[in-house]
Amino acid sequence: MQKIRIGTRKSPLAMWQAELVASKLKDKNISTEIVPITSDGDINLKQPIYQLGISGVFTHSLDTALINNQIDIAVHSLKDVPTILPEEIELVSCLERGNPYDVLIYKSDKIFEKSKRTIGTGSLRRKSFWLNKFPQDEVENLRGNVQLRLQKLIESDWDGAIFAYAGIERSGILGELNSRGLKYQTLEWMIPAPSQGIVGITVRKGFEMPKISHENSTISAKIERQFLNILEGGCTAPIGGFAEIIDEIVHFKGAVLSLDGSKIILVDENFLKYEFENKGKELAEKCLNNGAKELIQQVQKELKA
């Protein structure tokens, strides 16, 4: 096989993910070349993601590079990849999942004693979950790569900010937090974004991708992305979905929230691993039947206001 050109965003985390894919291909005696590409989402760091008006704001530029044959494969944080892909592109590989949870990075243990805190995040899901648990708090918009967001937290008067644990860990920052005067706590009560912690690979249809996928991570991603696809329909909304596979049993938790976190529709079910094929759809439809449709419509109305 000829050298595989690996497309990636330019952030340190994205480059780490591309290097991981390159190492797995090297194990199969396949040579690679990493091609860094600037994404639309990395250019505009001031607006919240949901205001950019682009589906796949972090993947659009890589999609274009794939279609134009500038790269052979594109490596993504799978949570950033839309559930509906361009016609010429398909998702072919999911690497073994890292820690799927979110993490609160904060400056002082006094954060837990305060009656009102200020927390930074650019994610509607994280904002809604946080306000569901701490409705009195203020949540500020926070954009940029992991390093930029961390620096903004340090320089601000905020109490803390929420990150993906996998992003912090893979960026090599987790071990540096203490020396920078910061602490962290994993937020296991916050349902992760669908596919959070999974590295996904997309290709032009017809490209023969060597097999480097992890079975359970692939199944979890399919369930979670199907759940998101049915609920979201291409729109932005605060949605969490997490499928964990233990001893051939899938443990699924999903939620749809209002923007202010005051309303939440939950689903929590266990089922056999071999039954996964349409479970994401079934679980999403349960949420819709329990009021998620109206909740998402209200979210869209508020975002456009």
Look at residues 221, 261, 216 and name the one whose alpha carbon lies nearest to residue 238. Answer: 261
41 pLDDT above the threshold of 70 = no
Instruction: Indicate the CATH number of 102-187 among 3.20.20.80, 1.10.645.10, 1.20.200.10, 3.40.190.10.
Output: 3.40.190.10
Active-site annotation holds for 80: yes
pLDDT of residue 281: 97
Q: In Å, how far are 238, 244, 289 from 268, measured between CA atoms?
A: 17, 12, 15
- Kindly report the average pLDDT of the chain as a whole number: 91
160 pLDDT above the threshold of 70 = yes
pLDDT tens per residue across span 242-264: 999 999 999 999 999 999 999 99
Report the alpha-carbon distance of residue 224 to residue 218 in Å, rounded: 10
Q: What is the DSSP string of 140-169?
A: E---S-HHHHHHHHHHSS-SEEEEEHHHHH
pLDDT tens per residue across span 130-143: 999 999 999 999 98
Instruction: Indicate the CATH number of 214-305 among 3.30.160.40, 1.20.1050.10, 1.20.1260.10, 3.30.465.10.
Output: 3.30.160.40
> What are the sequence ranges of the domains in the chain?
1-95+198-213, 102-187, 214-305
* 149 Ramachandran zone, left/alpha/beta (phi>0; psi -120 to 50): alpha
pLDDT of residue 234: 53
The helix/strand count (H/E) of the chain reads as: 9, 13
36 pLDDT above the threshold of 90 = yes
DSSP conformational letter for 38: -
Is-same-fold flag (1-95+198-213; 102-187)? Answer: yes
Q: Which two tokens stand for residue 213?
A: 């996928």
Confidence band (pLDDT; 50, 70, 90) for 51?
A: very low
Q: Does domain 1-95+198-213 have CATH number 3.40.190.10?
A: yes
Q: Which two tokens stand for residue 139?
A: 């949540």
Asked whether 142 and 68 are in contact (CB, 8 A), the reply is no
Active-site position among 42, 63, 80, 159: 80
